[in-house]
Structure 1
């Protein structure tokens, strides 16, 4: 499997790359080849006096390349120019990446201008699964908030086709997952489920699948605003990563669930993994 690891060469993204536990987790789920990508924004002019941005970035990214090689991955580096989320997404599609990893500090717009906005834009547009690796929000020398990326998962589902696709990610995540909480949030606008498909029954069926792989599983059904309730469950069970599909029941609900996944990317305490439609 191949992964794109995006970096703006800041202290925040350095924390993702230099954390050995995070790299080990990526190796355990089957990532063998890492494509390290940094993008010079198109509004940064190559001809600015006394500054060769591309040369500086290539020199800086070499240090990260050595770290990832020492962790046992094959590595390719890409220093490109353009709009960050578009170039990152394009490289992922070109190489056939199974995962894109990007660091983000989360809520604060002042701390979140470059790679944070890139994470949000990728959450809206990505064509491959996206892992937003949460970095400490207020630290001069930040580190990752959750080192074990996939050890304790929170899987949120609306039982849509795309949510099912997100669940299929456990086929490889299970090699690094020990515990999972499965949650469904009922809303007033929910199209409803038949008596034969009540949420607890469906979650129990999913739990059975995970427990066959030796993953300890619990289920929760809640009522209310999906993003608020998912974040409340995160607060209660302290997962390392929230796993969710980035689209909902139909095109009419795309904006609704799209806004939920975007809220999770911005507000979750830990990591968020989004799985887009096929």
Structure 2
């Protein structure tokens, strides 16, 4: 399922922490990576796509991935970033996309927020968002320091919807490949006990226990359960800030491109505000 992935880099010093995290994908079965840098058309019109310094960074990032036993195909393309990335993912038939989430420029002249949002609205593939700016604060720049162990402790928020179940399918694949990963299943009930929820605490506990047993059968070393009351997005984000978790896996609602991550939804708020990597699994995607 994660055998072939695409990694998008902006070639800044901070992007080396993204590469360090991407290298850890080999722990869950990644054999091939398409390493991609996109230059917008207006920047490419000057002639050469990359400066000598950028070429050196691109070559070094390719080598870093290869040092982990991954086969790497590196490409520099130009055009509208989200369109180019989506087309490249389709061309190479990758299983997922890794992209940095940065408050500054993400891919030559384009802000990361706009690129990642546009890509979310287009792609049907799982998207791993990595907060490069958070890594800078932790590690002081590029390198491995801000990455840590990507699969050390995974948080899986679920509302028991079909979208959440798709996220659980991917989490199961991670548990199957990475037996040492600890996992916490989180369900957030409304703050108001009288709110129209349609599900009791007993119901939610039963469903969480069933998911726990499924993950344990797949080889997860430790599966915990949290059943709390509050606002779902806030509960997830606060747990990310606490430093307890290394990765959040979430399913995205809806079938249409623009519906998968709706403005104001839990997934949308989490992707914008959380400080740990997030694996978003969109609807209508086949799990192999």
Q: TM range, normalised to the smaller chain?
A: 0.7 to 0.9
Number of equivalences: 269
Report the counterpart of residue 59 of structure 2 in structure 1: 62
1:2 equivalent in alignment to 2:4: yes
User: Displacement of 1:252 after TM fit?
Assistant: 11
Q: TM-score, normalised by structure 2?
A: 0.80
Pick the aligned partner of 2:181 from 157, 178, 200.
178
1:34-45 aligned at under 5 Å gives the runs 34-45=33-44
Pick the aligned partner of 1:133 from 130, 133, 140.
130
Indicate how the Cα distance of structure 1 residues 258 and 92 shifts in structure 2: closer, same or farther if over 3 A, else same: farther
Q: RMSD of aligned C-alpha atoms? A: 3.2
SS at match of 1:11: coil
Indicate how the Cα distance of structure 1 residues 127 and 255 shifts in structure 2: closer, same or farther if over 3 A, else same: closer
Q: TM-score, normalised by structure 1?
A: 0.83
Report the counterpart of residue 208 of structure 2 in structure 1: 203
Q: Is the 8 A contact 1:247 1:257 kept in 2?
A: no
Is there any run of 5+ residues in structure 2 with no aligned partner, and where?
none
User: Displacement of 1:150 after TM fit?
Assistant: 1.7
SS at match of 1:173: helix
User: Displacement of 1:259 after TM fit?
Assistant: 3.5
Is there any run of 5+ residues in structure 1 with no aligned partner, and where?
none
1:1-278 aligned at under 5 Å gives the runs 1-17=3-19, 19=20, 22-46=21-45, 48=46, 52-54=48-50, 56=52, 60-105=57-102, 109-110=103-104, 114-135=111-132, 136-138=135-137, 141-143=141-143, 145-174=146-175, 175-176=177-178, 177-187=180-190, 192-193=197-198, 198-212=203-217, 213-236=219-242, 238-247=244-253, 256=262, 259-278=265-284
Q: Which runs of 4+ in 1 moved over 6 A?
A: 249-253
